[in-house]
Structure 1
């Protein structure tokens, strides 16, 4: 597509993810890419980020953040007329993604001005994108940010999720990555209940990036737990007994029972600096 360095970008704001997530992303990228590349982080806190990562201040949203919505609307700042010193195609990767294969094809697939998203596998019958991993031409579609800033709550109410808004806003429509490249951990790797009590999550053949939208966190499932406050890889019966704690609703008991995962060695192998 171009002889310019391959550009991988991420966003870090707030306290949910520390600098180790950025540093880990850089390590994974460096092991799975050929030719010159740069990793760029847009953040509100640059402390602790390894020097090989280029950092820029995270652009201001420029409007009130929508209320009553689950979407990560802070990410729409990537669609402004300018974005740091970047130009041309850039590949965005969420910080809680695990890179397990070559990234090179993410830069050669399609045309330079294409917007290419992962499929939203939670709604497979709809042509919706998922923005855990997407490529876009920097500065090419500034109307996306401008329209959002003009009516942030209205946009959020109509689309609910930032990725649905992006899907509907790209002129000519989005493209989707080939099916096997970008895999959803819960939907493509984790065995269905109750098999997850007996089998570890698998790494699908041909996968390049495994995403974790909506959790759990890769660092937790690597050691066999669903949440950071849970014990590492508890015996199955101990976990099941936890659903009998007093005060839980039926829904909470069922959620606890299904949120069981055995340690996942391939995550520990790949998700490191």
Structure 2
């Protein structure tokens, strides 16, 4: 099966990512590249489609951001719609299947299995864990053949705001409209840090987040980055609080920031050493 999937790319595993603006940049790209190098069997390529090549590791193949030709991107929507740049007919010199990775995920084991599921022409997505009753994929990590998603790009380009309003997230748009239908990687391969690794209350105050044995990749959606997990900061602002300071904060509406008491108490994590072990250059 692997040889079938890699036939169009000359037997080379093709990994890609995308970067624009200043939110992530070279530190995230270089860490991702280093994790790929440690967790893939050659031959492989790592290509970053980016608007800045400053500070990037020399082993990274850089390409300009693919054109999208949209005057106004959607507003007031949570989807990461600039990823639609990757849905065009070409991606640099790449041919065949590519494995897309978000810049803020953590690779904890081999990526090879992601090139062994399905057929060469399949769109294969990570399962979205937050909506178990909806057949929804994640675009934090997914595999697709170059050019296969052109119909999606054309539909999005014809009415960006309308598509964003209807589907809210780009991953739902891909899940529902992938030509031939989307397939999925095994659920246990790609885990959601908050849902699959964090302990429930009150164990979250005593135990560091765990790394399940079958995990290959851990994703960090919605603002909680790997560095926050390393430091033991659930939120993205302010210094880390001790367990006692966090618990007593349940009585302070300003510290709770409109969260219910139980929700607030759940939002605490201890420093996570295994994230630091893997999320490095």
TM-score of the aligned structures, taking structure 1 as reference length = 0.94
How many residue pairs get aligned? The number is: 272
Gaps spanning 5+ residues in structure 2: where?
none
CA contact (8 A) 1:200 1:263 kept: yes
**Are residues 1:218 and 2:226 paired?**
yes
Shift in Å, 1:248: 5.7
**Are residues 1:5 and 2:12 paired?**
yes
RMSD: 1.7
- Give runs of aligned pairs for residues 99-114 of structure 1, distance below 5 A: 99-114=107-122
Q: Matched residues in 1 for 2:75 and 2:67: separation?
A: 17
Q: Deviations over 1:104-133 (max 9, x none)?
A: 111121111100001111001111111110
1:54 to 51, 55, 61: 61
**Are residues 1:23 and 2:30 paired?**
yes
- Give runs of aligned pairs for residues 43-122 of structure 1, distance below 5 A: 43-63=50-70, 64-122=72-130
Shift in Å, 1:192: 1.3
- Structure 2 vs 1, CA of residues 96 and 104 (structure 1 numbering), >3 Å: closer, same or farther? same
Partner of 2:248: 241
Partner of 1:14: 21
2:195 to 187, 191, 199: 187
CA contact (8 A) 2:40 2:111 kept: yes
Q: Matched residues in 1 for 2:248 and 2:20: separation?
A: 37
CA contact (8 A) 1:217 1:226 kept: no
- Structure 2 vs 1, CA of residues 9 and 102 (structure 1 numbering), >3 Å: closer, same or farther? same
Q: Matched residues in 2 for 1:42 and 1:150: separation?
A: 23
Partner of 1:166: 174
The SS at the match of 1:251 is: coil
Q: Matched residues in 1 for 2:273 and 2:256: separation?
A: 33
Shift in Å, 1:223: 1.7
CA contact (8 A) 1:69 1:160 kept: yes
Gaps spanning 5+ residues in structure 1: where?
none
Partner of 1:205: 213
Shift in Å, 1:253: 6.1
Deviates more, 1:61-70 or 1:156-165: 61-70
Q: Matched residues in 1 for 2:25 and 2:90: separation?
A: 26
Q: Deviations over 1:224-269 (max 9, x none)?
A: 112453324x321112334444646762464543321101111011
CA contact (8 A) 2:100 2:143 kept: yes
**Are residues 1:37 and 2:44 paired?**
yes
The SS at the match of 1:172 is: coil
